Amino acid sequence: MSESSIPSRPAAFSYPGHGANARIGVAICHGFTGSPLSVLPWAEHLASQGYAVTVPLLPGHGTDWRELARTRWSDWYGSFETAYLELSERTETCFVAGLSMGGAIALLTASRHQVAGVSVVNPGLSFYDRRVRVIGVLKYFQKTTLPIQEEQPTAVVTEDGDYSRTPLAAVHELKKLFGAATRGLPLVTAPVQVFKSRTDAVVPPTSLAVLRKRLGKHLAEVVSLASSGHVATLDVDAPEIFARSGAFFYANARQNTSVETP
């Protein structure tokens, strides 16, 4: 492959905001083996409403599965936490949001920091594959596996890098992240909005069940997505996600009287 034909690395997204809504920040986290491209339309919609928005590119992502295998869940979380803290320092009110694994990272952030609210799409906290129970041992005998494929997906396809294989070492790190996020849920005091696809081949319904059990009254809203698969931010129900999350951020901003209506 020539140097000119190598795909460009997906870029992080950052927008400073405009108008009164620039005082409201939203830090969005992409998912496992994904990139900011998977949530870019969401980020751009919020930016068009004047919100200050940041979407970091997590370590080991936007490149290939070999680099992913060399990273740890603390690297992924730390990258997002840094982006959130930087955004919160220049805004008066700051929210976190995420897709899939990014939902777990957003929730973990909310358990450790005083965020204004959380909006997550198909957040991952559990697995369909029961072999993950022994992933800590299995990773030494089987280095990689094929990625999960949805039947007849309708989401827009993005070029996130070479993730034609999934390293089991990274799956083990993902399991650790899910565990940390789950343990932190009782510490979340901000309102949480959840979007959940009725058909999701990646994240099982048990993830939502965990949120219902551990968040209690802080689970403010669960929106069922009838027509989208796992990457719903690029699918049929994306406009509903954008509109309802924007309304959620607006309603929960600390200074509602001084922001522009989306």
Quick one: average pLDDT of 38-42? 97
* Mean pLDDT along residues 198-208: 96
- 145's tokens: 């596996």
> Would you give the DSSP letter of residue 10?
P
- What is the pLDDT at residue 219? 98
8-253 homologous superfamily = Alpha/Beta hydrolase fold, catalytic domain (3.40.50.1820)
Q: Calculate ∠ Cα 117-186-190, nearest 5°.
A: 15
Residue 36 sits at the vertex; the CA angle it makes with 115 and 55, to the nearest 5 degrees, is: 30
Whole-model pTM: value is 0.93
222, 194 contact by CB (below 8 A): yes
**Residue 54 tokens, joined:** 């940041």
CA distance 172 to 4: 35
- Give mean pLDDT, residues 39-56: 98
Q: Residue ranges of the domains in the chain?
A: 8-253
Burial status of residue 103 (CB atoms within 10 A of its CB: 0-12, 13-18, 19 or more): buried
Count, residues in the chain: 262
Phi, psi of 244 (to 5 degrees): -75, -35
CA atoms within 13 A on the CB side of 104: 26
The reported pLDDT for the residue numbered 8 is 64
Q: For the segment 166-183, what is each residue's pLDDT rounded down to a tens digit?
A: 999 999 999 999 999 999
List the structure tokens of 33.
């083996």
DSSP conformational letter for 141: T
pLDDT higher than threshold 60 for residue 48: yes
**Mean per-residue pLDDT over the chain, rounded:** 93
Residue-wise pLDDT for 213-258, tens only, equals 999 999 999 999 999 999 999 999 999 999 999 999 999 985 443 4
Burial class of residue 184 in the structure, from the number of CB atoms within 10 Å of its CB (0-12 exposed, 13-18 middle, 19+ buried): middle
